[in-house]
Each structure stands twice: as C-alpha cells, then as structure tokens.
Amino acid sequence: MIVRLALRDLRGGLTGLRLLAVCLFLGVAALAGVGSLTSAVLDGLADQGQAILGGDVQVEINQREATPDELAAFQAEGEVSHFTRMRAMAVPVRGGDPVLVELKGVDSLYPLYGDFRLRPGALAERPSGNQVAIGPELAERLGIGVGDALRVGNAELRVIGVTAQEPDRVSQGFALGPTAMVDRAGLAATGLVQPGSLYISAYRIRAPAEADPAEVGRRLDVAFPAAGLKVENRLNAAPGTRRFLERLGQFLTLVGLSALIVAGIGVGNGVTSYLDGKRQGIAMLKTLGATSATIFRLHLVQIAVVAAAALLAGLAVGALVPTIVSSLAGDLLPVPPHGGLYAGPLLLAAGYGLLAALAFALVPLARARTIPAASLLRGGVNGQRRAPWWAYGGSLGAGAAIAAVAVLTAPERMFALGFILACLALLLLLALLGWLVRRAVAALPRPRSPLLRLALANLHRPGAPTGRLVVALGLGFTLVTTLAVIETNLSGQIRSTIPARAPNFFLLDVPSDGLADLRAVAEQAAPGARLELMPTLRATVTAIGGRRIADMAELPEGAWFLRGDRNLSFAATTPPGSRIVEGHWWSEDYHGDPLVSLDAENARAAGLGVGDTITVSVLGREITARIANLREVDWSRMSLNFVIIFSPGTFEGAPHSLMGTAHMARDQETAFARAVNRRFPSLSAVRIQDVVADVARIMGQLAAAVRAAGAVAILAGIAVLIGALAASRRARIYDSVLLKLLGATRGRILVMQAIEFGLLALILAALALALGAGAGWYVVVELFELPWGPDWTAVLGTLAAGAGLTLLLGLLGSLPALAARPAQALRQL
C-alpha cells in the first residue's frame, strides 16, 4: 500500500526531487565514466598483451647480446625473435638538421604477434638491407617521404615507407624521438652498436599455447639470477603504462567523489525542498491516522524511486564514456578501449551514489517524520524539530562507508586516504567560513541604501542558503582554482625557468676516448660552449641490504630507482649540484673495495643508509658495493647527475660511454648539432627544447582530463545554486511583491538581486582564491620543490568566469519573482 500511495503521489510532480535527480546523475555519471574508461583501456592492454609486448615473454638485456647459454634457454621455451633498440641521430642526405630517433633493428620474425604495416605507397612491406621505415612524426619533422635518403650513423638508408601500425610501440614507454626501423643488416651498417654503446637487446619468445608465460619468465629468472635480465610477460605487457593509467584513474575517481559530495549537498537541499512542499499533504495524512513511521517510509520510497532513475541514467551515460572518448580522442589513448560493459566500475559508482543519497537525505526525511500535524498546518511557521540521533548516525555511517570503499578499492590506499581527509577538512573549513560569512554580514552596519541593505539581508536572514552555497560552489571553485594555480606554475616553469637553467643538449653515447675531439669540435662550431661529461653504464639493481629485488612482493614506495634498469656512473670527486648529507666522499685516488654514493631521497625511500650494501648487475656481472655516503641532489639545476655513483676503479675497465650536457648560445645550436653529427655519427644530441615541448604537450593532456573531472564539481555546485533559488522562490516572490507595493520598479529589484548575487560571487571567488592558492603553493613548493610563480592573470580569469556564471544564474533564477503580479501573488501566498 505504501508503495502504491508513494507512486500515486509522485504523479503530482517532482518539485525538489528534480534537484536530487540531477545531482545524483552528475556524480554517478562522472564516477561510472572514469571507472569504465580506465577499465576499458586496461582491458585493451591485457587483450593486446601479446601484440603490445611482441611475444608471450620478453627478455631485455642492456649493452650486450645474449650469451650462447642464455639464447639456448630462450629457444628452449619457444620461437625467439631478436631486435635491438637504441637512440640515434638521423639527418637527411640532401641536408638539414639532425633529429633524434628511436632506432629499431628487427629480425625476419618481427613481429611474432600483431601486424606491422606501412602506409599505402610504400616501396616494400618491410625494410631490408640499407632501407628504413620511418614514423609519421619523423617524416613530418624532416619533411621527407618515400624514396628519400637518411644518414644514420655510418649508413645511408633509403626510406621505403611511413609506418601505419607498429604493434609493440606502447610497450617501449616514453620515447624521446620517433621510430626509424631497419633490419639486422641495416643496423649493422650503421656501426652504432659498439662496446659501451647504450642499447637494449630484446628477445621475444612465442611460447606453446599450453605454456604459462609467468612460469616461463620465472624459470629464466631462476636460471640466470645474476645476468641482469629484465623479464616481462604478456599478462603485464606495459607495466609502466598500466601503473600510470591506474594512478590517473584513481585520482580522477577521487575528484569525482569530491563532485559527488557537492552533489550530495544538492540532494539534501532537494529532499528538504520537496518535503517542505508536502507539508499540507503530510499534515493531512497525520490527521487521518498515519504514523511517523508511515510518513518516513512513504517518502523514502518516493526518494528511492527518483534516485534509482537518476542512478540508472548516470550509469548509462558512464557506460558510454569509453565509446565517446574513443571516437573523439582515441588517438590520445595508448590503446583503443576495449568494448563492453564493466560491471565493477558501474556497481561501484552505483554504490557510491546510493550511499551519498542516504547520507544527505536521511536527516531531512527523519526530521519530517517528527513534526506534529498541528505544526505542519500552520502554513509559513516552521515547526521543525531536530532529527533523531539515529538519522545523524546513519548519515555519518554512510559517509564513512563511502570513505572506506574509496580507500579499500584504491591502488594507492594512503594517497586515497590523504585525499579524502583533505577533502573533508576543506568541506569543514568551507562550512565554517559559510557560517562566518553570515555572521559577518549580519554584524555589518546597516547601509543607507535600501537596495544594498536588502541585498545584505538576503545573505544572512533565516533560511538563507549562503552557507550551503559557500560549501557547494566553494569546493568546485577551489578545486578549479587549485588546478589553475598548479598548471600555470608548471607551464611557466616549462616555458621560461627550466629553459633558462637547462643545457641546450643532452649528449648520449659519447665514445669514452673521444672527449678531447668532442671539445675541439664544440669549440670550433660553438665558441665558448661548456661541456659537462661523466662516464655511464646501464645497470639493474638486483639486491639492497642483502635482499634480492626479485624476491620482494612489493617495492618500497618512492624508491623508483629499483624499477627496471638505470644509468649509473663512477667519479673521483663529488659532482656539481650534490651535497653530502651523511657519510664521507672517498679520496680521489681511492682503489679499494667498491663503494657507492646514493641520492639521499631514494636511499631513505628504500630504507638504506651508510654502511648498507647494494648490488647491481652490469653487463651480466653482479657488483656489490657498500654505501659510503648519501647525497642531496639539486635536480632543479638541470646539471648532469646520477642517483647511483660508484667509486673509481670499479668500472673503468668495462666498456662504457660518456654522457653529458652542452651549454651554449641559442643561435649556436644548429651549427653545433651538425658538426657533432658529422664527427661522431654514433653520438645522440638530444635538444632540450624538443623534450620540453613534448613534456608540455603531455601535461596539457593530463590537465585537460583533470579539468574535465573537476568540471563535474562545478556543475554539481551550479545545480545546488539552482536548487537553492527554486527552494527560495516563494520567499523571493513575497519580497518582490511587497517591494512593488511600496513603489519599487522591476529595475531596482533586479539591481538588488544583482548586488546580492554579486556579493555572493565575490565572496566565493575570494575564498577560492585564498584556499586554491594555498593548496597550489603546497603542491608546487613542498611536493614538486619548484619556484613559486603562477600566472595570476589566468587564475583570476578562471575565478572571474566562475563568479560571472554565479551572478548570471542568480539573476536568471530571479526573473520569475520579478514577473509575479502583486494581486495574483497575494492571493496565493
């Protein structure tokens, strides 16, 4: 009976509940969309694991090829394809500037999985001998096409086509340049693979169908524990990409949760408004014998029906997000999203929505059931009592459940917990500021202007929504302002500060015996150029403090130098930009047991200190060294430095190259790059300006994704504003009619409303500026350790747009009150 009565009552209209539906829809759609898109892309990575990795198992070796025993072990597991990857400089034979490329030398079996295709018009299906296939970015940058010739190292290569599909591109991670692909003969012709050169030999294995790729990888690790092999399998084909996507998805989900909290305020306002409109009906039901429990259940059913419809609509839109993003911005994703519905993210979003609806609707519902019928029949008299304790307990429990689910389902639980606590602290602060704003406005002297006096009164009078709007709109404005402060600060660093400090070039693969020649070439091509070079080798950390890295279930958080392989160096003196904070540097003529110096931040993250040991695998040989000192490295200097630096005498006899930086005037860059490429074909000169441009582009894409998620919080805040205007419509019509009877014109009433909402917009902008600037300063200065310098013009422009939108919506919401006719309105009030 209660369900039938509730559904019949809903036919009379959804006034108030529309706000509940809109707010729930926005929050659930955002959460479902982020979760579905993240799952779709991760599933795409998993489904294409073989093609992305290039095999069932991949083994990478630094600066050498596999030994006969290693190759025999690979071949015992299945069919093996071998390719070499390294950086090189490519320059058009007809003339032009050299460009950094990712040179890839493949064998005849490449690719074991997936399809390698060239664009129509190619001269052959794949390169052979002195031929090369180039990526579209390289063709565009050099202005070359099919049939043109490139010089890479000592070889002159003819372009046979432009790559249309490279199946294993994603597994190679961030690349400093576009791909140039040759076969094994073409790679040999370049002469770039030399002892000490920085290159990676990759061996991909096509295992039998019944084989477990994880078990194959484990067998290879066990067979060659000290060889420094990096073994991956198709079940986790691109671990770096997967880790990045998981963390980005987690962050966007948390931003979506903050938007859902704002939407929850709208839910509470909508339910309150709806129940206020049902005062006469509730009174009649109570006079007919309905109990408080019946009233509660009746309206709970109505709210549940509307909430369910909003949840279903939000879930439907969220489920379509992967398809929409794929069609609009599919090229920006690492792999095409996998199609289909993802029950996990959708159920999680629905759970969040239901808990939010319960948390914010329970108190108004419980309050309505406690109001006596006689009080409800007194028209405008508000006879509301406090809700019972169990309603507040239920709301707090639902809020705690939201936080618990968010933390327990997050890949980085401590980050999620910190974000939620910060969000709650911000909400409490905004609630306090909203209360203080009302008190401060009420304490102001009464202005002489009637319009200003009435506008201020509307901000603090009983029932004014000022506090709720400060929380709802303030959270969205603060989030957007914080993002604007961080983004403009980082963009400014990339555009000006970093280029001013950074060298012009990073120099890679400098021959260890070519330092004198390089200095002579630099002095002739770019007089006054300053070179800083250090020896370098690629190595993998295999053990710390006697614990094998392979045996660790999880690597220490923040110890990124333990993941994969790294460049290390050896030096007799402390490198520039380093300060010893623990221990002592070795003497310049030291030739004892191996010692090592570590970056202090990474060492502490790994739980290492002076006297502990660290083991690295270099060229298939493990070296164990004792930590002699910890260094604090000023990475902002952009000078050459390493996380791991060994003492002299450890690696001098091993094949190695030099790595360094080159500082010069900007107008000397072209001459320097061309001269160095002519004299040292194997040397790679990475132009910092190009790297900065790539980083800026990636940051722009990330910022766009975060802004899109943050926009949901703004939309939810706007919905709360519209709901507050709707809830106060009766009072505003009453004010407007009385003012008209006293002689006020529509224009003067509109000016009063403009003053009211203009003051509200200014208050919100000021609060968002203060809170957003403080949060942005903490992120930029304390977390990123960068100088403070946001673009205040862009930040203030963002705030001005938000304040203008608040003013506009407030005025639009006041138009019905202005249009009310006094005679008709007085009969209805």
Give the Cα separation of 244 and 241 in Å (integer): 5
Is the Cβ–Cβ distance between 419 and 451 less than 8 Å?
no
**Residue 310: count of CB within 10 angstroms of its CB:** 26
pLDDT digit string (tens) for 339-369?
Answer: 778 888 899 988 888 888 888 888 888 877 7
What lies within 8 Å, CB to CB, of 586 at 6+ separation is 572, 595, 628, 647, 648
Structure tokens at 35: 């979760």
Give the angle 316-22-732 at the CA atoms, nearest 5°.
170
Residue 625 bridge partners (DSSP):
614
Tokens of 410: 């997050």
pLDDT tier, 159 (very low <50, low <70, confident <90, very high otherwise): very high
Residue 13 has pLDDT above 50, yes or no: yes
Structure tokens at 383: 């006879």
Q: What is the DSSP string of 60-129?
A: EEESSPPPHHHHHHHHHHSEEEEEEEEEEEEEETTS---EEEEEEEE-TT--SSS--EE-TT-SSSS--S
| Greater pLDDT, 335 or 87 | 87
SS3 state at 620: coil
The rounded distance, in Å, linking the Cα atoms of 565 and 579 is 25
Going by C-alpha positions, the residue among 432, 346, 347, 351 that lies closest to residue 398 is 351
Split at pLDDT 50, 70, 90, the class of 727 is low
Strand duo 149-152 + 79-92: pairing: antiparallel
Rounded Cα gap, residues 80 and 69, in angstroms = 14
* Buried b / exposed e along 42-67 (16+ C-beta atoms within 10 A): bbbbbebbbbbbbbbbbbbbbbbebe
pLDDT of res. 791: 84
pLDDT at residue 452 in the model: 81
Cβ-based neighbour number of residue 356 at 10 Å: 27
Task: Label residue 381 by pLDDT band (50, 70, 90).
Answer: very low
Q: Are strands 79-92 and 99-106 parallel, antiparallel or unpaired?
A: antiparallel
For the ranges 60-64, 614-618, 650-654, 703-707, which has the lowest average pLDDT?
703-707
pLDDT at 636: 66
DSSP symbols for 549-604: GGG-SSPPTT-GGGSSEEEEEE-SSPPTTEEEEEE-PPPTT--SS-EEEEEHHHHH
Q: Average pLDDT of the chain?
A: 81
The closest of 56, 101, 62 to 80, measured between CA atoms, is 56
274 phi and psi angles, rounded to 5 deg: -65, -45
383 compared with 409, residue with greater pLDDT = 409
Tally DSSP H helices, then E strands, for the chain: 25, 21
pLDDT at position 380 over 50: no
Model confidence pLDDT, tens digit, residues 738-775: 777 777 777 777 788 788 888 888 888 888 898 888 88
CA 764 to chain centre: 27
Strands 179-183 and 99-106: parallel
- pLDDT tops 70 at residue 16: no
Is a pLDDT exceeding 80 seen at residue 296?
no
Q: Tell me how far apart the alpha carbons of residues 151 and 190 are, in angstroms, rounded to a whole number.
A: 9
Rounded to 5 degrees, φ, ψ at 286 are -70, -35
Q: Over range 582-601, report the average pLDDT.
A: 91
Per-residue pLDDT tens digits for 65-124: 999 999 999 999 999 999 999 988 888 988 878 888 899 999 999 988 888 999 998 999
Cα–Cα dist 301/3, whole Å: 7
Nearest in space to 138 (alpha carbons), one of 162, 115, 116, 117: 162
Per-residue tokens: 686: 């990475």
- Residue 626 pLDDT exceeds 90: yes
Residues 585/507, Cβ–Cβ less than 8 Å: no
Q: Compute CA 347 distance to the chain's CA centroid, rounded to the nearest angstrom.
A: 23
In terms of average pLDDT, the best of 129-133, 248-252, 509-513 is 129-133
In whole angstroms, give the CA distance from residue 380 to residue 389: 26
Q: Cβ of 745: how many Cβ atoms within 10 Å?
A: 11
Write the CB contacts of 503 (distance below 8 Å, at least 6 apart in sequence). Answer: 532, 638, 639, 661, 662, 663, 688
pLDDT tens, 458-467?
787 776 777 7
- Give residue 425's pLDDT: 84
Q: Are strands 199-206 and 149-152 parallel, antiparallel or unpaired?
A: unpaired
**Average pLDDT in the 134-162 region?**
90
Q: SS3 for 623? A: strand
Label residue 585 by pLDDT band (50, 70, 90). very high
With a cut of 90, say whether residue 808 has pLDDT above it. no
Ramachandran angles phi, psi of 62, nearest 5°: -90, 135
Q: pLDDT band for position 729 (50/70/90)?
A: low
Strand duo 530-544 + 117-118: pairing: unpaired
Comparing 218 with 705, the larger pLDDT belongs to 218
Work out the average pLDDT over 804-808: 81
- Model confidence at 376, pLDDT cuts 50, 70, 90, reads very low
Please enumerate in sequence order all residues whose Cβ is within 8 A of that of 617, keeping only pairs 6 or more positions apart, or say none: 226, 227, 228, 539, 540, 542, 623
- Exposure class string for 481-504: b at 16+ Cβ within 10 A, else e: bbbbbbbbbbbbbeeebbeeebbb
* Residue count of the chain: 829
Alpha carbon distance 360, 350 (integer Å): 16
